[in-house]
């Protein structure tokens, strides 16, 4: 049905490293972001998974933090204050995603 889906779930084209308190993820990831709905409703995560991400810190310390990754997005009228929370235009010059 037209208008039921988000225009596109955007997937990062480039693998990125996540950053957390001056630490950088050991692995690179291609996270998905929610796009926009073609009928003005909000497009937010619908199906997500939580993964354990390992971060390497400056003094050689290693941290493990759970992170939510988006699998699919959905359109609805119950909009958060800012729909930008789930949509981040990717900066093609950066290979890091700040969290």
pLDDT digit string, tens, across residues 79-88: 765 544 444 4
Task: Convert the pLDDT of each residue in 30-76 to its tens digit.
Answer: 998 888 888 888 888 889 999 999 999 999 999 999 999 999 888 88
The band of 10, judged by pLDDT with boundaries at 50, 70 and 90, is confident
Whole-structure pTM value:
0.64
Do 4 and 39 meet the contact criterion of CB atoms below 8 Å apart? no
How many CA within 13 A on the CB side of residue 38? Answer: 9
Q: Which stretch of DSSP H or E encloses residue 98?
A: strand 96-98
């Amino acid at each position: 049905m037209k208008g039921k889906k988000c225009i596109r779930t955007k997937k990062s084209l480039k693998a990125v490293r996540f950053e957390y308190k001056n630490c950088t993820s050991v692995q690179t990831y291609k996270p998905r972001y929610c796009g926009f709905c073609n009928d003005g409703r909000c497009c937010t995560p619908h199906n997500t998974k939580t993964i354990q991400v390992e971060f390497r810190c400056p003094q050689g310390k290693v941290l493990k933090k759970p992170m939510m990754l988006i699998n699919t997005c959905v359109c609805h009228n119950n909009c958060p204050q800012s729909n930008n929370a789930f949509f981040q235009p990717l900066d093609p010059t950066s290979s890091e995603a700040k969290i």
